[in-house]
Amino acid sequence: MRIKEKALEIYKKKGISGLFYSILRKICHFIFETNSHNWLIRNLDSNEIEIKPDIPLIIEFYNFQETLNWIRNQNMPWMNNRREEEIAIKERHYWGSAKYNGKIIGYIKVGFKKVFINDYKKSIEFPQDVVFLYDMYVTPEFRSKKVAVYLLNEASRFSKNIGFSKALAYVPDWNIPSMKSLTKAGLKREKKIRYIQIFGVKILTANPGNL
């Protein structure tokens, strides 16, 4: 039923050519798909880092629903995968927000135990003492104001305060701004992991849960 509903939605928005292109793309991805990410680690037991954003911010980690509602209102499908949301709710992940003048301008997702990684189309189990900072976004008008690096640092500080000892994150080679934010927030490159899917079979060159 869900597949039929999605196909109908694509048809209404993009017509028959758009629906055909969507089906063809899914077939191609089923046959072969690959991506590569740099995985980074921060030891939360090490000395804390002081980072000050260029604007006054309030970071909130205990209002998951507020952050989720904001994400949904952005109408950007890549921000919120249905399976990712289900597991985040089940495992009680923290989806933190950054507020400026009382309004959300960005978010960061802090996961642990089991996390659905959309780039790998599968769930990964992490050790009890590890958090995974698996998604972050700052609205365009507030970029270059140290919001992202401040969010990352505050997420690491928050994770340490609730008992975690290591933080993980990942980023593709092309995303240079995110890599800079991650390294400024104390995360260090540990390993490159490639994902390969061939005829529906998913392969990872290493298990992120073992880093």
CATH number at residue 205: 3.40.630.30
> Computed from CA positions of residues 50, 52, 53, 57, in that sequence, does the dihedral angle turn out positive or negative?
positive
183 phi/psi in degrees, rounded to 5: -70, -35
**Is residue 9 in some structural domain?**
no
d(CA 208, CA 48): 24
**Is residue 169 in some structural domain?**
yes
pLDDT band at 75; cut points 50, 70, 90 = confident
**Is residue 118 in some structural domain?**
yes
d(CA 168, CA 41): 5
Q: Could you tell me if residue 52 is left (phi over 0), alpha (psi between -120 and 50 degrees) or otherwise beta?
A: beta
Q: How does pLDDT run across 45-59, given as a tens digit for each residue?
A: 988 899 999 999 999
Mean pLDDT calculated for residue range 111-134: 96
| Closest-CA residue to 190 (of 45, 38, 36) | 38
**Is residue 21 in some structural domain?**
no
The structure tokens listed for 147 are 């919001």
d(CA 150, CA 100): 13
Q: Is the pLDDT of residue 167 over 70?
A: yes
> Domain residues for 173?
34-210
State the pLDDT at residue 12. Answer: 55
**Is residue 189 in some structural domain?**
yes
Percentage of residues in the chain with pLDDT exceeding 70? 85
Mean residue pLDDT of the chain comes to 88
Q: How many domains does the chain have?
A: 1
**Is residue 122 in some structural domain?**
yes
pLDDT band at 199; cut points 50, 70, 90 = confident
**Is residue 3 in some structural domain?**
no
